[in-house]
Amino acid sequence: MSEKSFKTDVVIIGAGPVGLFAVFELGLLDIKCHLIDILEVVGGQCSELYPEKPIYDIPAIPVCTGQELTDKLMAQIEPFDPYFHLGQMAESISKKEDGNWVVKTDLGTVIEARVIVVAAGGGSFVPKKPPLKGLEEFEGKSVFYSVKRMEDFRDKNILIAGGGDSALDWTVNLHPLAKKITLLHRRDDFRAAPDTINKMRKLVADGEMQLEIAQLKELRSENGVLKTVAVKGETGEYDIECDTLLAFYGLTMKLGPVANFGINLDRNLIPVDTEKFETDVAGIFAIGDINTYPGKLKLILSGFHEAALMAQQAFRYVHPERKLRFQYTTSSSELQGKLGVT
């Protein structure tokens, strides 16, 4: 094999939290994994979009950031020595006569495996941008679509635009750091968690921040530095002073080459059964936000459950000659040996 050609048991497309946990579940069953991700780092959305945003619904962890969750998962799967192909996209798949799959990436990497697991979230995410003239010249300097490092926004005069979870979460979380926070939304109605909305409204009532019901119209700068944003509300147009704009208008999901893998799709999602989380193509599974089934909840913990059941069926493809024995990590000395614990 060339230095770009590999052979393993399972190829996992997507190195977000669900893809990482799949390594753990497969590793317990003596299944080796290679992971492909278009990002340069592991962690998926958690690392790319909200590495410092608190997550509250991981079992037994009252609160952790996206990056902390990623770090813990990486520590958990370390005994299984997964191989990562980062900064590249799974471009095509094909099947060999012996039943193995061959996955090729846009960088020319070729991986042969018995099983493919698609854990690509919703595909690649592109922020929805406000239709403002000259927006591009401010991007990455004073206009942002995500918060990767909260400290970067300390002592800033921040205008946050949006009415969903991201806008409200960052309004509350950045408030202690920012010099000033203004939340802008086109109506006085929000699509965020009720508790977060209540916290925002209390900050407004206490005079700790401003809430403006209006829409973005124009960015205005001096010497290339953002100074004000023109908005339009019920009373007409007016300016809001700020040096930073955080625009949270949601994300557009692009499925990318996965759409051409020959797997049945339903509105850019992959239908699976709820016994094995297998697609309509034998040997190809889909777990996490990329899949769909009756009652589906797009939660990380749901993806963890799906990974566990997927691994049971993947074992039957990878080790058809062996009998699958269900064991608990708390009582199995064999599993504890694999994990390097006593």
Q: Which of 197, 224, 249 is the last residue of a domain?
A: 249
| Same structural domain, 118 and 258 | yes
Residues 185 and 284 in one domain: no
| Amino acid occupying residue 288 | G
Domain count, the chain: 2
CA-to-CA distance for 289 and 44, rounded, in angstroms? 12
pLDDT at 3: 65
Q: Are residues 262 and 226 in the same domain?
A: no
Residues 195 and 227 in one domain: yes
Q: Which of 198, 231, 249 is the last residue of a domain?
A: 249
For residue 285, give the nearest of 3, 19, 16, 6 by alpha carbon.
19
CATH number at 151 reads 3.50.50.60
Q: For residue 123, what pLDDT is reported?
A: 61
The answer to whether residues 25 and 174 belong to one domain is no
- Measure the CA–CA gap between 96 and 115, rounded to whole angstroms: 12
Please check whether residues 133 and 54 belong to one and the same domain.
no
Same domain for 207 and 291? no
Are 88 and 170 part of one and the same domain?
Answer: no
Which domain does 109 fall in, by range?
A: 5-125+252-339
- Which strand ranges, in their side-by-side order, compose the sheet holding 10-13? 83-86, 33-37, 10-13, 115-118, 284-286
pTM to 2 decimals?
0.70
How far is it, in rounded angstroms, from Cα 303 to Cα 21? 9
Q: How far apart are CA 183 and CA 195, in angstroms?
A: 16
Q: Are residues 107 and 204 in the same domain?
A: no
Please tell me the distance from the alpha carbon of residue 284 to that of residue 116, in angstroms, as a whole number. Answer: 5
pLDDT tens, per residue, the chain with 342 residues: 556 899 999 999 999 999 999 999 999 999 999 999 988 889 987 877 678 888 999 999 999 999 999 999 999 999 999 999 998 889 999 999 999 999 999 899 999 999 999 998 766 666 789 999 999 999 999 999 988 789 999 999 999 999 998 899 999 999 999 999 999 999 999 999 899 999 999 999 999 999 999 999 999 998 888 999 999 999 999 999 999 999 999 876 666 677 778 888 888 899 999 999 999 999 999 999 999 999 999 999 999 999 999 999 999 999 999 999 999 999 999 999 999 987
Where among 249, 269, 297 does a domain terminate?
Answer: 249
Query: How many other C-beta atoms can be found within 10 angstroms of the C-beta atom of residue 218?
Result: 14
Count of Cβ atoms closer than 10 Å to residue 182 Cβ? 21
Amino acid present at 330 = T
Q: Does one domain contain both 116 and 176?
A: no
Give the list of residues 6+ apart from residue 53 with CB closer than 8 angstroms, or none.
Answer: 65, 66, 147, 169, 170, 173
Asked whether residue 37 falls in the same domain as residue 119, the answer is yes
Q: Are residues 174 and 259 in the same domain?
A: no
